[in-house]
Amino acid sequence: MYYRTRTYIAADWSGDYDAVEQLHKWNSSKYWSLSFTDAHDLMQARDNSLNCSIKASLSKRMDASRTFILIVGNNTKSVRSGSCQYCGSYKSYAYTCSRGHSLDYRSYVEYECEKAITDGLEIIVLYNAATVNKSKCPDVIKNVGTHVAMCYYENGQYYWDYQAVKNAIG
């Protein structure tokens, strides 16, 4: 059992890794005053684990979290990784799991968003862009929490917006 003191970061890791890394850089820097303890430091699931095992691991990390941060990029709403239909144990002809697990067609991101809402976590949605575009956000969370752009556009260039992110995280 963990106390709810951590911050859980969810994202389309293949498309928005740069934004996740920027949060970690701000958090570990002595210059910037962003300060959170990442829930993912508790444990890691192996990449070759079953999707349901990974979701169980994600659930444990979220159970130790007070704050949920979702980073939204171009593909966040459409990412399907984590759905049972992409698991090697899924039997499409019978719509069953060969290991006897119940089926869950939600992606990891959808699962995390729904659990964050159900658990009553503080929800912060950061957009890996210069504008907030809720059409890219998963439907379940697009009208929940604080929504903020992580970047700003100036003189033809995009820059990370530390102050906007700090204000959102508090």
The stretches in the chain having pLDDT less than 50 are: none
Q: What is the pLDDT of residues 153-169, one digit of tens each?
A: 999 999 999 999 999 99
Q: What is the pLDDT of residues 125-155, one digit of tens each?
A: 999 999 999 999 999 999 999 999 999 999 9
pLDDT for position 23: 92
pLDDT for position 40: 66
pTM score, two decimals? 0.89
Q: What is the DSSP string of 46-113?
A: -TTS-HHHHHHHHHHHHHTEEEEEEEE-TTTTT--TT-GGGSTTEETTTTEETT-PPP----HHHHHH
6-79+108-169 under CATH 3.40.50, yes or no: yes
